[in-house]
Amino acid sequence: MKKRVLFLCTANSCRSQMAEGIANHFWGDKFEAYSAGTQASFVNPMAIEVMKAIGIDISGHRSKNLSEFDGQNFDYVITLCGDANETCPLYIGGTKKTHIGFDDPAKATGSAEEILKEFRRVRDEIKEKLGDFFET
């Protein structure tokens, strides 16, 4: 039986969406990943673009509020930003949360290429840190 993991971030637009896609793509045989935000918004087009570049399609994802998962149980709840770590409940679905923080690529400034570079950096960091987490 697959373990269920919920990734949380503030807007559920970049980091948590990328984490959900990465987890389901690389560790989908062992884990079933979902994502949500403390304040749902939209899936950032640059997150979609950098994920597509590594063969992961998140274009069908939508931003979800944490309340959509009320009453559901998860084996892991992982916050990816400081705000979600501070504002979400300590226990969700009976599971204690873990925090693995990442910079917010949506706050990057500069040219389109510089911003994409930051999205790629964060995507790669998410993949690396989740690999460490899931494979231990």
Catalytic residue, candidates 22, 88, 100, 130: 88
- Residue of 5, 12, 6, 4 whose CA lies nearest to 65: 12
Catalytic residue, candidates 5, 8, 9, 19: 9
Catalytic site includes residue 81: yes
The region, left, alpha or beta by phi > 0 then psi within -120 to 50, assigned to residue 12 is left
Catalytic site includes residue 14: no
| Cα-Cα end-to-end distance for the chain | 18
Catalytic residue, candidates 81, 84, 92, 130: 81
**Which residues participate in catalysis according to the annotation?**
9, 81, 88
